[in-house]
Structure 1
């Protein structure tokens, strides 16, 4: 009887401790406040001038909301802002579009000049190519970022969002990013995916951050990479958004709530795993993707291979691109991809495989001239 009483008391004590921890966590979250900053430069869904990335805003906001963090939304001039074209049907976007409270803030953003840094625990700067145009020139935003950082708050930015950091100076006159691990959209990514606006940029973001003394780091194109240096958190590209937002949550002393991974992020995580694997483990990743196509966005794997091929230098790079394109060949079913596969096979000395690829293409498109012409050269 005595043992049972002691056991019961122990269980009650553990339960009480758990309740107190959970309560403390919830209480802490209630008091945390983040200002999300977006570019106000966009017009006509990014056709006339580029704006911010709604996907990045939605993914980051989803993390903050799930963790009970209060969010304000700001831009350099305040008021209504326009995102670049996006897919409203994506689950994370649909959730934000259905959230009247946050949409009201997004439709009438606060001007950076009216913000009080002491009201916030962190600032999160959303990317999008518009960030390259108005955020670096916003002195009020620079002051806000510096003040939040110097009051022991967290500064986070993703993709082109770090453009807002390039001229931020601390009270001692040093640049915020100096001697800190930092990343952003890379030069390589700009040249592959940012050609429309590249000539209009006043600087290349990777170069400017390095010029300011940042210790720039990065991963392969469009794969997740988060640089954490104390209370400065930066992410390379849209794929890094959730990880940056989650790191911000952790920096505020909170334990992030587990969330279901978006299918595109989940897919690119497999691509990242493949690219760093040895030959045997790499084959296992490709087989896993091929055997579980309903769990991943397989066409994205093929398109990644297509763009990765553009950056290929070493033979292994071409091998990787070929594997990624091939696993998605049937799902994409596009002659342009088939031709890329055949040309890569040819470059790697696999004449028989290249002929097979071309003949399979011609079986469905017998008059496809690029395939006919290439076949004559083999």
Structure 2
């Protein structure tokens, strides 16, 4: 299969807003550390590279990406030290070979250059809640892939970035009526209990804009949802399946 170019969208944020509901900061909005979720980036990325494709990383301002601390814990890998090391090694290689440490600012990617990309991928982690959902330049980029029916993959909190399409073009949500799976409200409420605060809900935000949210047992345990050019998934358990389905879409 001939090599194709895949654009990978990252957040510049190192935290996201958490409205505290308990403790000494109750009523205040605090910065909760976050970034990209390691497994949700590394697993699809490895499959894209194994298929022989070229990747380009981009973010709002081109700042150095930060991993979500929770995603680097051994708990997140169910104690599998070797898997965690492999995925950290992959990111280190991307820093050396693919400009991961200094992504392309969205504005630097012209409409003409966008035509050279075959697909786009947005990993999760809570960071997209901070800076991707309302980014007009990202909205322009995603509207291109949508209009051209080019493979688009999103996972966990990554689907929140789709809301950026409201900031570009005619101001409408480009994925209205699409079936989408994301990190669910139920899963987020579990995190809220742990953090003692409230978080913007990806599932509700997309549903409120007209997306048809697909959530259930299958999606909680590694299932993916495909609608037209968009493949989506809800959590790290689906990262491998998302990568496989995305690579197949690229090869068509």
**Which TM bucket (shorter chain)?**
0.7 to 0.9
2:41 maps to what in 1?
57
Are 1:135 and 2:107 counterparts? no
Query: Residue 149 of structure 1 corresponds to which residue in structure 2?
Result: 146
> Equivalent residue for 2:83?
91
Q: Distance in 1 between matches of 2:92 and 2:188?
A: 34
| Aligned 1:296-311 pairs, distance under 5 A | none
Whether the 8 Å contact between 1:55 and 1:93 is mirrored in structure 2 is no
Alignment correspondent of 2:18: none
In structure 2, distance between residues paired with 1:145 and 1:90:
35
Q: Do 1:179 and 1:213's aligned partners in 2 also have CA atoms closer than 8 Å?
A: yes
Alpha-carbon distance in 1 for matches of 2:196, 2:169: 33
Q: Aligned-pair distance for 1:98?
A: 5.0
**Distance between the aligned counterparts of 1:186 and 1:54, measured in 2?**
19
Task: Determine the structure 2 residue equivalent to 1:81.
Answer: 65
Offset of residue 100 of structure 1 = 5.3
Check conservation: 2:11, 2:36, Cα contact below 8 A: yes
Structure 2 spans left out of the alignment, 5+ residues: 16-30, 75-80
> Which residue pairs with 2:123 in the alignment?
126
Matched, 1:38 2:7: no
Residues 42 and 90 in structure 2, CA contact (< 8 A), matched pair in contact too: no
C-alpha distance 200-120 of structure 1, shift in aligned 2 (>3 A): farther
Counterpart-to-counterpart distance in 2, 1:98 and 1:241: 15
* Counterpart Cα distance in 2 of 1:93 and 1:153: 32
Label 1:100 to 1:128 Cα distance change in 2 as closer, same or farther (>3 A): closer
More helix by share: 1
C-alpha distance in 2 between matches for 1:39 and 1:93:
23
2:185 alignment counterpart: 187
1:198 deviates by 7.9
Decide whether aligned partners of structure 1 residues 197 and 34 sit closer, same or farther in structure 2, where only a CA change above 3 A counts: farther
**Higher relative CO (CA 8 A, sep ≥ 6), structure 1 or 2?**
2
Partners of 2:196 and 2:250 in 1: how far apart? Answer: 36
1:9 equivalent in structure 2: none
SS across alignment from 2:133: helix
Q: Given the superposition, is the C-alpha separation of residues 173 and 100 from structure 1 closer, same or farther in structure 2, using an over 3 Å criterion?
A: closer
CA gap of 1:180–1:198, structure 2 versus 1, over 3 A, is farther
Task: Please report how far the alpha carbon of residue 103 of structure 1 lies from its aligned counterpart in structure 2 after TM superposition.
Answer: 2.2
* Partner Cα distance (1:160, 1:69) in 2: 24
| 1:236 corresponds to which of 231, 234, 237 | 234
What's the CA shift for 1:223? 1.5
Q: Distance in 1 between matches of 2:235 and 2:91?
A: 25
Query: Is 2:95 the partner of 1:103?
Result: yes
1:253 equivalent in structure 2: 251
Measured after TM superposition, the shift of residue 64 of structure 1 is: 0.5
Unaligned stretches of 5+ residues in structure 1: 1-24, 255-378
Mapped to 2, the partners of 1:112 and 1:82 lie a distance apart of 18
Partners in 2 of 1:55 and 1:33 — Cα distance?
21
1:137, distance to aligned residue in structure 2 (A): 2.2
Structure 1 counterpart of 2:21: none
Give the alignment's TM-score, normalised by structure 1: 0.54
